[in-house]
Structure 1
Amino acid sequence: MSDHHHHHDHHQELGFEEKLQSLFSHWIDHNNSHKDSYLSWAHKASHEGLDQIKDLLEEVAAMSDQVTQKLEQALDLLKK
């Protein structure tokens, strides 16, 4: 009788493209969360009469949209 045991890890690491897909999805969600926060604070700044701050935060939110669009384009390319 043998006490020899085999333990094989059948979990394969993700390939590079799969890792990128996962990262892009995470970054898109994370970026959208930040955008929502910027817009929320822009609204609050407006109520406090801080119109220039509101405008800047709205610009940052728009820039975040542009970043998200680029990440989505990259994700789409990987899925082809």
Structure 2
Amino acid sequence: MDKKNALRAGTLAAGTTLMMLLMSSPALALIPDDGDDPGSGLSVIDTLGLYVVAPIVLFAVIAGLVMVLDKSTDRQPKSKQG
């Protein structure tokens, strides 16, 4: 791809992204809708536990189950002989 086409593609991508951002409606988070019933907020400890600790623990449990339940007996790589 030559320099002119790369510049054109980059300009098009940037322009499209900018137009999408400008034309999107605001979230209007400060104005509650009818029927909104927000709960109480999470504390810092709750947030860290939910979004940091829980995924790490879940990953560790799945990895541990895979390692424990692995049925293959050949753990060493085969060496090439002669």
TM-score category (smaller protein): 0.3 to 0.5
TM-score by length of 1: 0.37
TM-score by length of 2: 0.37
Higher helix proportion (structure 1 or 2): 1
